[in-house]
Amino acid sequence: MKGSFALLLFLVAGPLWADEAAVRLRDGEGRQLVEANCVMCHSLDYIPMNSPILDRKGWEASVNKMIKVMGAPVSENDARSIVDYLSAHYGK
């Protein structure tokens, strides 16, 4: 019974600890597109976490994978703006 209560508490309170507002992306053109599109599927902390290893080609591949493999509903123009923002502000 204790284990069930602990699991229930984690499931209810867990999302409160994962405060997405704590992740603040750098200002720049395209930031709103990144925030609106990327957070639909994963946390924004993915971006600064991967920035040391991704250059423009890496961000292009990542965004294309999200669209083509994962099914993210992002237009071609928005994808280009997202890659521009990510490579300018989070590219190595």
Give the residue numbers spanning the domain of 54.
Answer: 22-90
Q: Give the CATH number for residue 37.
A: 1.10.760.10
Q: Measured between alpha carbons, how far is 61 from 20 in angstroms, rounded to an integer?
A: 24
* Spans of the chain below 70 pLDDT: 1-21
CB-count burial class (<10 Å; 0-12, 13-18, 19+) for 13: exposed
Report how many domains make up the chain: 1
In a domain, 1, yes or no: no
In a domain, 39, yes or no: yes
Q: Measured between alpha carbons, how far is 74 from 63 in angstroms, rounded to an integer?
A: 9
What's the predicted TM-score (pTM) here?
Answer: 0.75
The pLDDT value recorded for residue 16 is: 47
